[in-house]
Amino acid sequence: MQKQAVDTKKYWEALKEVMDPEFPISVVDMGLIYDIQMNDGEVHVTMTYTAVSCACMDWIESDIKNRLLAEEEVKEVHINVVWDPPWTVDRLSPEGREKLKYWGVSAK
């Protein structure tokens, strides 16, 4: 039986509550999340990091998993880290850009 794609908007919203440990900006506004798919209780998140050497990878992934698992219908979370397209500041959301500006961090 073909799996039905589920609207993932609520998961994008949920991940807006997961903050980057280094800046008070969500992983969504940082532009780290590339794609979210939901099938039969399994959420598949495709994401990247600002740098290959990001020291907070385990921390961020754990926060993402915990937040998504807080949704009743989510039974499993799979995270696929990709490096293409590479993250650049262009991926910041307007909200994320404003927050960085507020904290005096250049996003150019």
Residue ranges in contact with other proteins by CB under 8 A: 48, 51-55, 82-87
* Closest separation in Å from C-beta 34 to other proteins: 12
Q: Which is closer to other proteins, CB of 14 or CB of 92?
A: 92
Map 2-67 to HEC letters: CCCCCCCHHHHHHHCCCECCCCCCECCCCCCEEEEEEECCEEEEEECCCCCCCCCHHHHHHHHHHH
* Closest separation in Å from C-beta 49 to other proteins: 9
* Closest separation in Å from C-beta 75 to other proteins: 18
Q: Which is closer to other proteins, CB of 26 or CB of 48?
A: 48
Residue 76: strand, helix, or coil: strand
Q: Which is closer to other proteins, CB of 55 or CB of 107?
A: 55
